[in-house]
Amino acid sequence: MFNEDKIKDISKGREGWEDKFNKTLAKTSEKEERFSTVSDMEIKSLYTPVDIRDSDFQGEVGFPGEYPFTRGVQPSMYRGRTWTMRMFAGFGSAKDTNERYHYLLSQGQTGLSVAFHMPTLMGYDSDSPVALGEVGKCGVAIDTLRDMEILFDGIPLDKVTTSMTINPPAAILLAMYIAVAEKQGVDKKKIGGTIQNDMLKEFIAQKTFMCPPRPSVRIIVDTIEYCIQEVPRWNTISISGYHIREAGSTAVQELAFTLADGIGYVEAAVERGLDVDSFAPRLSFFFNAHIDFFEEVAKYRAARRIWARVMKERFKAQDPRSWLLRFHTQTAGCSLTAQQPYNNVVRTAFEALAAVLGGTQSLHTNSLDEVLALPSEESVTIALRTQQIIAEETGVVNAIDPLGGSYFVETLTNKMETEAMAYINKIDEMGGIIAAIEKGYPQNEIAKAAYHYQQQIDSQEKTVVGVNKYEMEEDISVDTLKLSPDLEEKQIAATREVKKNRDNDRVKACLDKVRDACKGSDNVMPHILDAVKEYASLQEICDVFREVFGVYRDPGMF
Amino acid sequence: MDSEGKIRILIAKPGLDGHDRGAKIIARGLRDAGFEVIYTGLHQTPEQIVNAAVQEDVDAVGLSSLAGAHDHLFPRILKLMEEKGASDIVVFSGGIIPDEDIPWLMEAGIKAVFHPGTKIEEAVNWVKDNVKPRG
C-alpha cells in the first residue's frame, strides 16, 4: 500500500519512537506482561503502515459492495438502509409469544425472530414424557400447525420477515410457516425469512442434535434444493458461529469452524448436482459479538473476505451474490454476568457497536436480565433502544467501514484470515468438516479454549467486572418474567385435542410418504408440507427421521 | 493417590438442555485435580444418570442444568437413587438455578449449588472436603 522508500522512513521513525517508549517504560513498567485479546491473541503496542506493507488496497481492502467485500456487502451500507433490528423472542404458549411480537412490531422492530422451547428444538411434542418440566421454558412450544397459526395470528407474512432458530426439525417448521402463509393467502414465493438449519454447528457446539451428521446434512440439502424453486426469498441456512463462541471458542475458532461448516454445506449441495449459483446467494451467516471490540470488527471483515475468496476461487461461483457473506449478529450471552446485572446494558452496547462497525445486516441485542431468566418487556425495550441510539444518535453510520484503513484493524483482519485459513486447511486435510466432527476435532479445540479462558479468569489474568474484580455485596434482584404455572398442562391438553380431532388416517398416509422419501432419494420437503397441513405433529415427523436415520449420541468428550 | 483409592465422580447433564461448557470445564478441572471423572454426555434421562452412577460405582454425582428443568429433574434423580439404595452418593449441582430454588433443593438432598462465575478451584475444594470414598 506504500512504496518501499516510504516504508523505510516509517520503519526508522518507528524505531525512534520505540526508544522513547522503552525509556518511559524503564520508569513505569507496562501494566501487563503481555497484552492480549479476550481470545488470548497477542496485541502489539503500536501499529503503523509497516504492518500492512504487503497488503494490496484493491485486492484486500477495496470498496464496499466490491470483491472481496472486506468493507461491506453493499455499496451504500447504512447510508442506504440501517441493519434489521431483530430481537429474538419466544416463551410460554404461542399466544403469549404472539402478544410479544405485536408489541415489538409496534415499538419499531422490523423483523421477527422465534425462540422455540427445548422439546421443539429437539423434535419432541409437549405431551412426550421427555418434555416434562421443559414446556415453554426457554421459548415457545410448537407441536402442530395449530400452534403456528396462533403464533403468527394477525401478522402479515408478506410484510414481515421471520427468522426461526431451529435445527434438527428445521424443514418441518419451514413447512408449517409456508402452510400458515398459504392460509393467509400469501404465496410461498413471496415469503421471506431464515431457518437456522445448521446442524454441523450443533454437533460442534450447541448440541441440539437428533440424527447423525450425514443424514442431517442430507435433509438440509433437501431444503436448499426445494427452496431454489419454491421459496426463492428464503435464507435456507444461517451458518452459525454464535454457539461455537458461546461454547467457549476463540474468535479465530468461531470464524474458522463457521466457514468450514459453510464449505461443508456447499460441497454437499454441489455433490447433489445443484449449481452453486442457484443456492449460494441464499446462504446466510450468524456471528457472535463478544466484548473485545477490535477483535470482533476484524473478525467480521475477515469473514467476508475469506468467504468471497472461497466461493469465487474454490467453488467457481460466477454470480457476485454467491460471494457475499451476509450475516446476523447477536451480542454475547456468555459475556453477561449475573452479578451487578445493570452492567450488562453497557457490555451489550459496546458489543452491538462492534457488530455495526463490522457491517452486520441484522442484530439482536441481549437484555440485561437474560443471564438470570427470560427477559422482561422493560429490559427487551432497553436492548432495542440501544440499537436505535447507535443507529440514530451516535453518527457511526455516517461513513462506511469507518475503521477500514486503521493500521491496527487491517493488521488484525489479516491475522484473523491467516489463522482461520490454517484451521480450514487442517480440516480439509482431515477429509472435510464432517470427518473432523466425527473425530471430535473442533469440539476438543473449543473445550480446550474454554478451559484456558476459565483459568485466566480464576487467576485474574483476565478481568470480568463484578465477577473477579470490583465485586460488591448485593442482593441480585431484577424483575424477571414469570411463566404461568399451568402452562405445561394447557399446552399438553391443546396438543392432544388437535391429535384427536384431525383425520388420523390421512396423517398416517402422509407420514408413510415422508418415511419413503427418507429411505429413498426423493426430496422430503413436499411430503413434510403435506403432513403438517394434515396437522401431523413435529414429533411424529421427527420420529420418522429417527426411525430411518438413527439417533446421534453425544460422545461426551471433555 | 493410587487409582484404587481414587474418588470417582460422575458429571451428568440431565434433560434436553445442551449447554455443556460448564459441565466440561468442571469435569476437566476435577480430572486435573486427580479425581477419576466420568462424563455422561448430553441429554440423559434421570434413569440413565442413576444407572450410570450405580454401575460406575461413583462417590459423587455433579448435575448441570441451565435451561430451567432442574426443578423437575433433580428431585427425580434423588428419588431414583434412594430407590436403588444409593443415597450415600453425594449429589452437587451447578448452572442457572435461581436463588429461590436453593433451599428446597438442599432440603431434597442436593449438597451444594454452584452459580455461574464459580472458580474451578472452589468447586474442586468443595469436592475434596465433602466427598469421601463410599464404603
- Examine the pLDDT at A479 and tell me if it is beyond 80: no
Q: Please indicate whether, in this complex, the C-beta atoms of A138 and B67 are within 8 angstroms of each other.
A: yes
Cβ atoms B88, B78 nearer than 8 A: no
* Domain spans, chain B: 3-130
Q: How far is A539 from chain B (nearest CA, A)?
A: 14
How many beta-carbon contacts under 8 Å exist across A and B?
Answer: 94
Nearest-CB residue to A447 (from B15, B24, B99)? B24
Tell whether ipTM is more than 0.95.
no
Share of chain B above pLDDT 70, in %: 97
Q: Is residue A463 part of a domain?
A: no
pLDDT band per the 50, 70, 90 thresholds, residue A481: low
Q: How far is A44 from chain B (nearest CA, A)?
A: 30
A375 and A491 assigned to the same domain: no
Q: How far is B30 from chain A (nearest CA, A)?
A: 11
Q: Please list every residue in chain A whose beta carbon sits closer than 8 Å to the beta carbon of residue B31.
A: 558
- Examine the pLDDT at A125 and tell me if it is beyond 90: yes
Q: Write out pLDDT tens, residues A197-223.
A: 999 999 999 999 999 999 999 999 999
CA angle A282, A549, A536 (to 5 degrees): 75
Q: Which residue of A has its CA nearest to B117?
A: A467
Q: Is residue A159 part of a domain?
A: yes
Q: Please indicate whether, in this complex, the C-beta atoms of B117 and A458 are within 8 angstroms of each other.
A: no
Q: Is residue A302 part of a domain?
A: yes
Cell of A363: 442484530
Residue A190 CA from chain centroid, whole number: 24
A363 and A510 assigned to the same domain: no
pLDDT on residue B2: 45
pLDDT on residue A111: 82
Selected residue with higher pLDDT from A369 and A546: A546
A515 and A452 assigned to the same domain: no
CA A292 vs CA A299, A359, A361, A393, A417: distances in Å: 11, 16, 20, 23, 17
Arch. (CATH architecture) of B3-130: 3-Layer(aba) Sandwich (3.40)
Q: Does A106 touch chain B (CB under 8 A)?
A: no
Q: Is residue A284 part of a domain?
A: yes
A315-344 residues touching B, CB cutoff 8 A: 334, 337-339
pLDDT on residue A282: 96
Nearest-CB residue to B41 (from A119, A476, A553)? A553
* CATH (domain of A99): 3.20.20.240
Residues 6+ apart with CB under 8 A from A225: A269, A272, A274, A279, A523, A525
A438, A458, A478 - which closes a domain: A458
Q: Is B1 exposed, middle or buried (0-12, 13-18, 19+ CB in 10 A)?
A: exposed
Q: Does A463 touch chain B (CB under 8 A)?
A: no
A205 and A139 assigned to the same domain: yes
A170 and A296 assigned to the same domain: yes
Bridge partners of residue A193, in order along the sequence: A162, A234
Selected residue with higher pLDDT from A338 and A83: A83
Phi first, then psi, for residue A508 (nearest 5°) are -65, -45
Q: Write out pLDDT tens, residues A296-326.
A: 999 999 999 999 999 999 999 999 999 999 9
Cβ atoms A164, A120 nearer than 8 A: no
The label of the residue with cell 506504500 reads A2
Nearest-CB residue to B18 (from A208, A373, A455)? A208
Q: Is B57 exposed, middle or buried (0-12, 13-18, 19+ CB in 10 A)?
A: exposed
Q: Write out pLDDT tens, residues A135-188.
A: 988 889 999 999 999 999 999 999 999 999 999 999 999 999 999 999 999 999
How many domains in chain A?
Answer: 2
A175 and A295 assigned to the same domain: yes
pLDDT on residue A30: 85
Q: Which residue of A has its CA nearest to B18?
A: A207
**What is the three-class DSSP state of B93?**
strand
B18-77 residues touching A, CB cutoff 8 A: 18-21, 23-25, 27-29, 31, 37, 39-43, 45, 67-69, 71-73
